[in-house]
Structure 1
Amino acid sequence: MVKASFLVILLLSLFSGVALAQTNESAPEDIPLPSLPDTLSSQRPVKIDHIFILGNRRTRPSIILREVDVTEGEVYRRDALVEILEADRNKIFNTSLFTTVRVSIVDVGPYKVDIIISLQERWYTFPVPIFSLADRNFNDWWVNQEGDLSRVEYGLKFYQYNMRGRNERLKLQAQFGFTQKFELGYRMPYIDRAQKNGLNLRLSYLENNSVAYQTLEHKLVFLDLERPIKEQWNAAIEWRHRNSFYTSHNVELAYRQRTIADTLAMVNPGYFLEGQTRQRYFYLEYRFTHDKRDIRAYPLHGYLLNLSASRYGLGMWDDIDLTRLNADYVKFWELDKNLFFSNDVGVQVSLPERQPYNNFAGLGYSQSLVRGYELYVIPGQHYFLNRSTLRLRLFEGEKSLGKLMPLKQFRNIPIAIYLKTYLDQGYVVSDNFFPGNEQFSNTWLGGTGIGLDIVTFYDGVIRLEYSLNNAGEAGFFLHMNADF
């Protein structure tokens, strides 16, 4: 879904208490690791005497120390300790529990130091107003749907973050408009003393009076009725095993039930296959993640590897029989001061060839797309995607609201601006169960362009892009999220 205008979100955020954290652009300034006195060598071993944590009024120390790679009583070479603490600072920041994180080294003797971790906690209890578009991106809504305001979704999300000081999260959602959605979720990142295992529980109900029932010329075609066309129930439990700082394993087991109106099954018998009006199945997914990005909201260094295997249907019913494999690897480099490069490679394989329209995927259905093809979806069983981006940081700074903002969590607004150019390519393998969608299927797709990224707070990213695709089409595209 497309996020609302960023200015609207920012205004609502300030008045509703939405806790937004800093981006990585302010991260280097948040690590005041003092230079080594002349009397000490940077390679001299030092022993950590104590680790002090300041500012964690709610968050339990164990949650913070879980992200720290150093321990009291251990001996480190001084220059190596500085590098370790820089990485530890980013790991603490990536918990999304704090607006600022500062790590300092204090000498308490020739061979002994203390570590000071200073934190500013977020505002953990707040409602988040929902104002979004139901379509895949802003341009899809503006061009393909002619800016139809009936496709707006509105409502309220209520979050209680960091419950019991354990980084647990309660989520309640009531959404109306194009999609009516009610959701209850509870996340427990750790359920054991070793802090390696966690659980995530979700229950949701969705209802639509307008549903995309076919794809024609690579654009979604919708069926509209005065009554609900589609209803969905979802219940899921997810187990997460985080065996190291950067690696995690997730296993999700879910039950999903969808029902559609007879009219939808008549106009597209392949929606659930064989003209069925109900689809119910158990869903099992395994995900492996190795994440060594510096700051997840807008990384400039490191890499991310995601692998997943999903199974739709575990044999209890015959409504669906689908297996999907996904792999994605993105790498970030700093080429020179203020100059950065990233490359993202993704692949998908799914079987069998004949799949329900409701469960079909490909390029364009989410963030997996070739830039320049935002107006299109390319359905298929398998795809390959490669996206390369060169970024030049033009500006970074911070705006202070001072006494105009009584809540100190929101007084400082960091902002950074990047000029970028990019080159994308992709390929979708389709056995063509979708007549009328041959133009971009089974052919190489390419896109290039220039753009501007405006980054602020934790996940506030505005992307302004002018792209040209290899079909000879060019256009200006607006996005409200990062492109990785």
Structure 2
Amino acid sequence: MKGRLLVSLILFSCSLMAQSRVYLADVEVNGLKHTRFHVVMNELDFAIGDSLDLIGLAAVLERNEQRLLSTGLFNLADFNIKHWDADKGEIGLSLEVKEAWYIYPAPIFELADRSFNVWWKEMNCDLDRVNYGIRVDHLNLTGRKDKFKIKFQQGYTRKYELEYLFPYLKGTWGLGVVASFAENKELGYLTSDNKVLFKKRPDEATVLRRFRTGLTATKRNSAYAFHTLRAEYNYNSVNDIVVKDWNPNYFPEGKDYIQFLRLMYVFKYNRTLFPAYPEGGYAYAVEVIKDGVGFGNFSNFSTAAEMEWYAMPAKRFIVGAKVKAKWNWTRNQIPYSNYQALGYGADVIRGYELYVIDGTDFAWLKTSARFALFDNNISLGKLMPVHAFNVLPVKFFLKFTAETGYANDKWYTANNPLNNQWLLGYGPGLDLLLYNNFLLSAEYNFNHLGEGALYYKSKFNF
């Protein structure tokens, strides 16, 4: 927020004196070239016609600037008071934005393993475990914050994928579609010593094929509340050698395929400041998944809940905590292909990046303390030919994290010593956030086994 806004607020406060609230008469948005006006307004937690608290107005506008930046639609966002009428007690706001680059056509060169650290330390940087191809991501296809993704991939995993999400189909309702096909010549068929074991056929024929397609309906009740309902059909198959010789429990009942219809409901409420890399506020989410609706050979029912909280007790210093729990209501033995708990996606405990802990249920707690070493916008000028990237927002943090987690396993504990015990990981690290959406991390993490190692991570908020 520029200094002129603070000056305007001071003058405005003086002119109104006894008034504590003001009426928002209008909002003017400048700098929109592709994004629709209503998309911007939907991202704000106030609307034209609202009564706003004058004393807290500066904080409200700054919070909404951060919300706009974290959408990935804009590189710059700056509110100011356009006009005010002291007699009527009303104001008008102006918003200056600079749209981000929305189209990301890019060659694919990515690792097939769960993380760079697994590929580097466990797979000895094996280039055969690399995916290559081309993908195109458009974050704002028609200017309505609609996301389109298409992928053509070869290498370790041959994959073709198409996805489109239109968040404002009618009012606050949105609709999405997805279709994906993938196949592999190598399969992670079993977990032993909390490491995934991989195997190929001698003739290197395809051993795994996966297909999924689905529809997603979304509803946004406010700037903070999101509902998602998804119906998705899954059909995966393996070569018969997998269930005959490698792992008879890979799919249900020793079959060489798994087929089911999944219904999933997710509710998210997010009041964090700058959600892409939270600096304050809180959020929570609830997830309900039913696999095997109407037909198929797999049935399961699970629920999960997640909460997070952040605060800034001192300038540049941010503390946070995040907790998640998942419970599987189906207590029968689950096939190995669907028996994942800790070690995948966001459910990784620091210090255990090289391990997986399978189970029916799990819980974890993650805490962090971060200090901003650098936070500024860098003008690249003629060094950057793409206008949308001329200004580079950079944030650089020193951090310390401490995390704990537990996975409940009834079936495979004998060969996996980390199952059914509390894990503890901690360590220092550095975070570099570029363009408000690209996060690069370097961490030195320890675990309760006495192991310590350097880990590199990246995250793109598409």
Per the TM superposition, whether the score is higher than 0.5 is yes
Is contact 2:67-2:275 (8 Å) kept?
Answer: no
1:393 to 372, 380, 391: 372
Name the aligned partner's letter for residue 369 of structure 1. Answer: V
Name the aligned partner's letter for residue 104 of structure 1. Answer: N
The 5 A counterparts of 1:39-50 are 39-41=14-16, 44=19, 45-50=21-26
For 1:274, the equivalent position in structure 2 comes to: 253
State whether structure 2 residue 438 is matched by structure 1 residue 460.
yes
> What SS is found at the alignment partner of 2:253?
coil
2:106 to 106, 128, 152: 128
Greater shift, 393-402 or 238-247, is seen at 393-402
Between the two structures, name the one with larger relative contact order (CA 8 Å, sep ≥ 6): 1
Distance 1:50 1:286, change over 3 A: closer
Greater shift, 285-294 or 347-356, is seen at 347-356
**RMSD of aligned C-alpha atoms?**
2.1
Superimposed CA distance per residue, residues 407-458 of structure 1 (whole angstroms, 9 cap, x where no aligned partner): 2211122222211112111111111336411x11111111121111122123
2:69 to 76, 88, 93: 93
Distance 1:282 1:42, change over 3 A: farther
Greater shift, 364-373 or 210-219, is seen at 364-373
TM-score, normalised relative to structure 1:
0.88
For 2:80, the equivalent position in structure 1 comes to: 104
> What SS is found at the alignment partner of 1:164?
coil
Name the aligned partner's letter for residue 331 of structure 1. Answer: W
* % identity of equivalent residues: 29
Name the aligned partner's letter for residue 300 of structure 1. Answer: E
| Shift, 1:71, TM fit | 4.2
State whether structure 2 residue 258 is matched by structure 1 residue 284.
no
Q: Distance in 2 between matches of 1:461 and 1:331?
A: 20
| Shift, 1:86, TM fit | 2.8
Name the aligned partner's letter for residue 64 of structure 1. Answer: V
State whether structure 2 residue 354 is matched by structure 1 residue 362.
no
For 2:152, the equivalent position in structure 1 comes to: 174
| Shift, 1:223, TM fit | 1.2
> What SS is found at the alignment partner of 2:139?
strand
For 2:127, the equivalent position in structure 1 comes to: 149
Distance 1:293 1:472, change over 3 A: same
For 2:402, the equivalent position in structure 1 comes to: 423
For 1:234, the equivalent position in structure 2 comes to: 212
Q: Distance in 1 between matches of 2:74 and 2:372?
A: 25
Q: Distance in 1 between matches of 2:45 and 2:272?
A: 16
Distance 1:185 1:102, change over 3 A: same
> What SS is found at the alignment partner of 1:91?
helix
Q: Distance in 1 between matches of 2:392 and 2:358?
A: 41
Distance 1:117 1:221, change over 3 A: same
> What SS is found at the alignment partner of 2:242?
helix
State whether structure 2 residue 254 is matched by structure 1 residue 295.
no
Name the aligned partner's letter for residue 240 of structure 1. Answer: T
1:264 to 217, 242, 248: 242
| Shift, 1:278, TM fit | 1.2
Distance 1:64 1:443, change over 3 A: same
The 5 A counterparts of 1:52-91 are 52-72=28-48, 74-91=50-67
Is contact 1:90-1:295 (8 Å) kept?
Answer: yes
For 1:36, the equivalent position in structure 2 comes to: 10
TM-score, normalised relative to structure 2:
0.92
Q: Distance in 1 between matches of 2:126 and 2:380?
A: 36
| Shift, 1:160, TM fit | 3.1
Q: Distance in 2 between matches of 1:30 and 1:456?
A: 24
Residue segments in structure 1 that go unaligned for 5+ positions in a row: 1-27
Residue segments in structure 2 that go unaligned for 5+ positions in a row: none
Q: Distance in 1 between matches of 2:250 and 2:151?
A: 28
Superimposed CA distance per residue, residues 87-108 of structure 1 (whole angstroms, 9 cap, x where no aligned partner): 3333333432222111111334
Q: Distance in 1 between matches of 2:346 and 2:145?
A: 28
| Shift, 1:42, TM fit | 6.4
Name the aligned partner's letter for residue 142 of structure 2. Answer: R
| Shift, 1:285, TM fit | 0.6
Is contact 1:31-1:101 (8 Å) kept?
Answer: no
Q: Distance in 1 between matches of 2:3 and 2:178?
A: 36
| Shift, 1:253, TM fit | 0.3
State whether structure 2 residue 294 is matched by structure 1 residue 315.
yes
